[in-house]
Structure 1
């Protein structure tokens, strides 16, 4: 029979491992190999990703972001909210050319939306325009929001043709309601 303290350790081991493997200073942000290569993909692409939040938060929540590549573009533009930027005096809404399907501080992203082809350039234009009007560009709260999941939820409301449904673990997505 297993001793209670050993049982407790066995139950806590996944949590301890998750926290130990998410050192933000050393975790890779390399491509996960999900997004199509923009150099060989002329069609417009919209992709939305979710990855476990950093550290222990990843047990309960995900971080979500949007990647856009207009027709014939040779790079993706990534739209996401990152809370630490607020403390540095930067807007929390980050819009930059970046790797669309990168690991999120070591966590493998999951593709939750993939739109390509006809009509997608119009959706890209609508998303870019809505992002300019995002009301919480300089605000961030882990809970209840606005946070990294509030932005894609807000975009989903402003661009209903996108038909974006965020996962249950996208805590803070309800802030946009």
Structure 2
């Protein structure tokens, strides 16, 4: 009995230190730094100008982006999307999953656009021959996504925008990239399997339908998922992962 009580106390302490405190601290940071009055209509969705003009950049290119979502939800989560351009193409192709209309949105926003006014970060980038090899596989993965019809969207725990991108990445494991730990929904089991390989295929993932889980993999690192919030360690590029803040490199 005493041992059970100690274990319970340790579990509660771990929850407070790894989940509650980081989320509370990040809420204070966001409250001080972010204007939560922006709604869908008055937010800035314009290009950040960080991508070269497609017509002037002839090599193929692939990018994965992630940007903070809007208003109070920015405490917890980012929205991710896929961008690519075939060699010689005069325009970029952007794919997002959204919660209205037909969920898979093609070129609905500028390729490097802000999301709710928040500038995106580049999660992955490839150019030239590497991008040329990846693009057909990305196109096939996007076309095979099983939640592509109206109504196939749930903000939490998924399938949402991050579930879509995580699924595509799992179909192209040679990209060897993990979405940010703040990409809530990335651990939703699109294939229905609660136990299986991590999206990168470099380890294993156990998930309780996206509500909780554990990932142990070289690319993803060690990730503990509780209600979509993730804490853990980045092994490949040493760092820690905290809810709200995301990855903090050492």
Equivalences, count: 162
Extract unaligned runs of 5+ from structure 1. 1-10
- Residue 127 of structure 1 is matched in structure 2 by 138
- Cα shift readout 1:38-97 (whole Å, capped 9, x = no counterpart): 1110000001111001111111100000001000111011011111x1xxxx32111237
For residues 131 and 41 of structure 1, the distance between their equivalents in structure 2, rounded to whole angstroms, comes to: 24
For residue 150 of structure 1, what is the aligned residue in structure 2?
Answer: 163
* Partner Cα distance (1:108, 1:151) in 2: 20
Call closer, same or farther: CA 1:111–1:96 in 2, change over 3 Å.
same
What is the match of residue 92 of structure 2? 76
Q: Which has the higher strand share?
A: 2
Structure with greater contact order relative to length (CA < 8 Å, sep ≥ 6): 1
Distance 1:145 1:19, change over 3 A: farther
Q: Which residue of 1 aligns with 2:177?
A: 164
Q: Which residue of 2 aligns with 1:48?
A: 64
CA RMSD of aligned residues (A): 2.0
The residue number in structure 1 matching 2:147 is: 136
> In 2, Cα distance between the equivalents of 1:172 and 1:62?
10
**2:30–2:75 contact (8 Å) kept in structure 1:** no
Distance 2:172 2:148 in 1: 18
- Deviation (angstroms), 1:113: 0.8
Q: Residue 101 in 1 paired to residue 112 in 2?
A: yes
TM norm structure 1: 0.84
User: Which structure 2 residues correspond to residues 6-45 of structure 1 after superposition, within 5 A?
Assistant: 14-15=30-31, 18=34, 20-45=36-61
Report the secondary structure of 1:174's partner residue.
Answer: coil
Distance 1:41 1:97 in 2: 22
Alpha-carbon distance between aligned partners in 1 of 2:123 and 2:29, rounded to the nearest angstrom: 29
Structure label with greater radius of gyration: 2
Matched residue, 2:73: 57
Cα contact 1:77–1:97 (8 A) shared by 2: no
Cα 1:176–1:164 change in 2 (3 A) is farther
**Residues 40 and 166 from structure 1, CA distance in 2 versus in 1: closer, same or farther, beyond 3 angstroms?**
same
Mapped contact 1:65–1:148 kept (Cα < 8 A): yes
